[in-house]
Amino acid sequence: MNWLKSRAHSRAHAVLSHYLSGTAALLVQGAGERVRVLAFSQHENMQFSADLLNRVAAEAGIKHSPLIALLGQEHYQTMMVEAPSVPEDEIKSAIRWKVKDLLNFHIDDAVLDHLPVPGGSGHPPSLYVVAAQAQAVRALVQPYHDAGLQLDVIDIRETAQHNLAMRVAPADYAVAVLHFDGENGLLTFSFGANLILSRRIEGRGASGEALLDKVAMESQRSVDYFERQYSWFPLAKLYLAPAAQAQALLRRLSEYLPIGAESLDLGRVFDFTGQIQLQDTQVQNAAFHLLGAALRPGAESSDTAR
């Protein structure tokens, strides 16, 4: 099973995963400027089980497709470490040593993967490290196995969000993408094919105007940190994912941020023709990371995959 990295000759994948408000399946077609959504099926507030997976997969016509699922964010941590100066075959061991004291669970219970972050301006390259709880990964896999489905890739929200960032970023500039679900936020910074940095923003009981102010303030702090620590990646703007409170939050962001902020129009990336559910802002917000996971390199499908 694959983790973050794509295989050189990956087959077409579909997304079948638990998400913010239920379980959903997603199949897309094409790798050009706009990607067509061929199928979308969702069931909200139902117990995640082999029976439900089979039902949703059948509705989307993807029972025989290799699948992508997202691991719940409570089951993994992300962190930045300086890239170790060791031979390629020793990198994994070196990373385990570097991150073992940074985890909130024991290193022996961790499944690790990493993505490179280019250095610049005299700064050495870094690694974006993901540490997942092995038990949680096994628990995620089991219902797919019980359903006789082929779970081929486990992805995370950060890399799914990065896939969307790559589709809207201007050439030679970094961009930030903020997803806000009404309580918490996820902020990612991308430059070209590289996921540079991510930050989770927790509402911690705030609501109303205070919550929006907190999200905007934390976003501003993260932007300031990025521009100080990664000054060789010029930051163009922040894109805000579709959200019910998008306009109010955009106003706050424009007050706090030193860069521009605008809504991320998923219509620039996807053709939702025939998918009425996905034309709704609330559904786009809930399915945002499923859509990003569907853009995983090598994941684009064709009609023959159905």
Structure confidence at residue 32 as a pLDDT band (50, 70, 90): confident
Q: Which range marks the domain in which residue 300 is found?
A: 14-72+136-158+288-305
Region 163-183 average pLDDT: 96
pLDDT band at 88 (very low <50, low <70, confident <90, very high): confident
Domain-located, residue 43: yes
Say whether both 171 and 239 belong to one domain.
yes
User: Do 11 and 64 contact (CB within 8 A), yes or no?
Assistant: no
Residue-wise burial string across 124-148, b where 16 or more C-beta atoms lie within 10 A, e elsewhere: eebbbbbbbbbebbeebeebbeebe
Residues 148, 104, single domain; the answer is no
Q: 153 with 192, same domain?
A: no
Q: Write down which residue in 93, 118, 134 finishes a domain.
A: 134
pLDDT reading at 219 higher than 60: yes
The band of 206, judged by pLDDT with boundaries at 50, 70 and 90, is confident
Tell whether 141 and 130 lie within a shared domain. no
Q: With 50 as the cut, is the pLDDT of residue 306 above it?
A: no
Per-residue pLDDT for 8 more than 60? Answer: no
For residue 146, what pLDDT is reported?
97
The mean pLDDT of the chain is 91
Between CA 148 and CA 6, with CA 2 as vertex, the angle to 5 degrees is: 125
Q: Do 25 and 148 sit in the same domain of this protein?
A: yes
pLDDT the model gives residue 298? 59
Of the chain, the percentage scoring pLDDT greater than 90 comes to 83
Same domain, 54 and 140: yes
Q: Assign residue 214 the CATH number of its domain.
A: 3.30.420.40
For residue 4, pLDDT beyond 70? no
Cβ atoms within 10 Å of 161's Cβ, excluding its own: 26
Residue whose C-alpha is closest to residue 76's, from 47, 53, 109: 109
Other C-beta atoms lying within 10 Å of the C-beta of residue 203: 18
Number of structural domains found in the chain:
3
Domain annotation covers residue 278: no
Round to whole Å and give the CA distance between 34 and 20.
Answer: 25
The confidence band for 303, taking pLDDT boundaries of 50, 70 and 90, is very low
* Strand blocks (E) in the chain: 14-19, 22-29, 35-44, 67-70, 76-82, 110-117, 126-133, 151-155, 174-180, 185-191, 194-201, 235-240, 260-263, 270-271
Residue 27: its pLDDT value, please?
95
Residue 12: predicted pLDDT: 65
